[in-house]
Chain A
Amino acid sequence: MTHHLSFRGVTVAAEPGQSVAAALIAAGITDWRTTGKGGRPRGLFCGIGVCFDCLITVDGIPDQRACLVAAADGMRLGDAEPGADVEPGADFEEAGRTGGEDVARA
């Protein structure tokens, strides 16, 4: 049974067991976010959860690694702007003060 996901109004098919990133790439979509400073397009790079280039919003939860998240039927991808609520380069202390859904990095 093929899964159907949506990305920016487009339906993307995924085989059960594929990651979100694999489904997007198989559909010919090679980038799914833009960088904060240069507005550069980004998609998959390391493929194993290390580089964080592939961040995407999954069912409203921002900053998920598309290379790690398994595709599931009905998933909505990429609505919010990933990384928008995180201070670029925030360190442990700064991030510690921002609260909410934020993520701390060191």
Chain B
Amino acid sequence: MSHVHDVAVVGAGPAGLAAAVEAAEAGLGVLLIDTAGQPGGQYWRHYDRIHARPEDRIGHHDWPVFTRLRTRLDELAAEGRIRYLPGHQVWLITRDAEGAFTLRVTAATSTSATAGRRSGDADPTTLAAHALILCAGGYDRQLPVPGWDLPGVLTAGGAQALLKGHRTPAGQRAVVAGTGPFLLPVATGLARAGVRVAAVIEANATVGWLRSPAGAVSAPGKGVEALRYAASMLRHRIPYRTRTVIREVLGDGRVEAVRVARVDGDGRPTGPDEEIAVDLVALGWGFTPSLELPLMLGAETAQDTDGSLVVAVDDSQRSSVDGLYVAGEATGVGGATLAVQEGRLSALAVAADRGHPADPARTRRLRAAVRRARRFAAAMHRTYPLPRAWPDWLTETTLVCRCEEVPYADLRRAHHDLGAEDARTLKMLARPGMGWCQGRVCGLATAGIAAWLGGRETGVDDLRPLATRSLAVPVPLGELAALAEETTPAEALDEGGRNGD
């Protein structure tokens, strides 16, 4: 390891891009690392820039905001003020005695090892920084339902990403189901791409972002956005079915149909089942943050209005860990505009803490914008909660953990017969969340089931054991071995285990 950067930013989505540009402009030397091959994160996911066509931009919001940030990134990188490393994932972060952070990175795919490498450089594996801004974003929140592991069932964000990033509609006849406003752009995006969208299946009662006046007033543009989606749904003749859930995904080897039913306010079925023939099911229950990196460093967490575990930060995006700042979805799911504002604010805070004070008026304005956007996000979360009784939808054979193929029956048995009360014990005995994805997909569900079986509301103690991972991503053993050579294997293991706990 050679150079210690002033600040490392992990993630080049809305939050990380804004943070990296802002920090570099404030005079800091910046390292920016991102899994994806090009910047933009989830919100500005776009077709490979080299092969892009003008029509790829259709359906993209705030695109000029992105292109401005990208231009600044290119310029600052050319000036050597940002070192941008795309196609790489951070899998472990540790801290030395002087407080500097060490980041271990690995190529995201077998073909991305050369991305961002200057000619003659070896592929970087170990990088260092005095301060850290984590902007790792999040992913679709999922609830298991019978048949949800059939090919043809995608996350709503996944269907969107395939369309925006790869121009590929994932099927021909679709339902988009779950809860939240994000179902609407997914449905209309698919329809625009020629997919017949049979219905949007919304578990909650209302499309009303306007129902919660505090939130709607906090984000005036959003009411207009809702109306635009409503108009687009009408134009494409997509039925919007509220208080309805998918009871089962049917098919032999791939999706052929879904069974849907009306539900009450808690998500308990009230009406008869109805079958809809489809070859694509896009499921989304909002988003949940990626927390493995902040948890690895021991950052304090809190539970957000939507029930997700988030990193607790102050009004400058500082976490409870000295030198560690967090921005974007990881501090609470609230959309791209909020992520950009938080990214900027975090960079100004790092700069100030490292002796480059920012214009106080600017910081004040950003803080006010963040507070407003948070109020709006909270109103949205209250409008589109997870149905309280969702575990009632599960059958004995429904897979909760897709990776380890753990059915609901195994979790019930671990609870009833083996006395697993909490999520951690449930995970140890029945092994959900122990496979490739390390509980990213089933973590929330497992925490929810632990609470449900125990007759309590899901809390931080249920969520945290499922969100903690000793490695942020699976890594080739060669890289682990290299780590073991520097430390001793025992230390390396201890490090992973302790930090990951």
Contact = CB atoms under 8 A, between A and B. Distances in A.
Interface of A: 15-19, 21-22, 25-26, 30-31, 35-38, 40-53, 55, 58-59, 61, 64-65, 67-70, 72, 83, 88-89, 91-93, 95-96, 98-106
Given A49-B35, A103-B477, A30 B497 contact: no
18 contacts: A17-B51, A19-B165, A22-B168, A30-B254, A37-B405, A42-B151, A45-B441, A47-B159, A47-B160, A48-B139, A48-B158, A53-B437, A69-B111, A70-B111, A96-B480, A105-B436, A106-B470, A106-B500
Interface size class of B (residues with CB under 8 A): 35 or more
B438 A106 contact: yes
B402 A89 contact: no
Interface of B: 35, 37, 42, 47-48, 50-52, 108-112, 139-140, 149-155, 157-162, 165-168, 170, 253-254, 290, 402-405, 431, 434-438, 440-441, 469-471, 474-477, 480, 484, 489, 493, 496-497, 500
A50 B500 contact: no
Interface of B is mostly: loop
Contacts of B150: 41
B155 A43 contact: no
Nearest to B468: A106
A4 B480 CA distance: 35
A69 B35 CA distance: 11
B477 A98 contact: yes
B278 to A, nearest CB: 13
Contact of A89 (B431, B469, B471): B431
B111 A106 contact: no
B161 A47 contact: yes
Contacts of B37: 70
Nearest to B471: A106
Contacts of B475: 103-104
Contact of A22 (B162, B404, B471): B162
Given A64-B110, A104-B477, A17 B438 contact: no
B255 to A, nearest CB: 8
Contacts of A103: 474-477
A30 B139 contact: no
A72 B440 CA distance: 29
Contact of A69 (B50, B52, B109): B109
A21 B111 CA distance: 15
Contacts of B435: 52, 88-89, 105
A60 to B, nearest CB: 10
Nearest to A93: B493
Sort A-B residue pairs by CB-CB distance and give the 6 closest, nearest first.
Answer: A47-B158, A17-B48, A52-B436, A22-B166, A106-B470, A17-B51
A68 B471 CA distance: 19
A25 B162 contact: yes
Interface centre among B52, B111, B166 (most CB of A within 10 A): B166
B166 A92 contact: no
B48 A105 contact: no
Contacts of A72: 111
Given A30-B254, A45-B158, A92-B470, A15 B109 contact: no
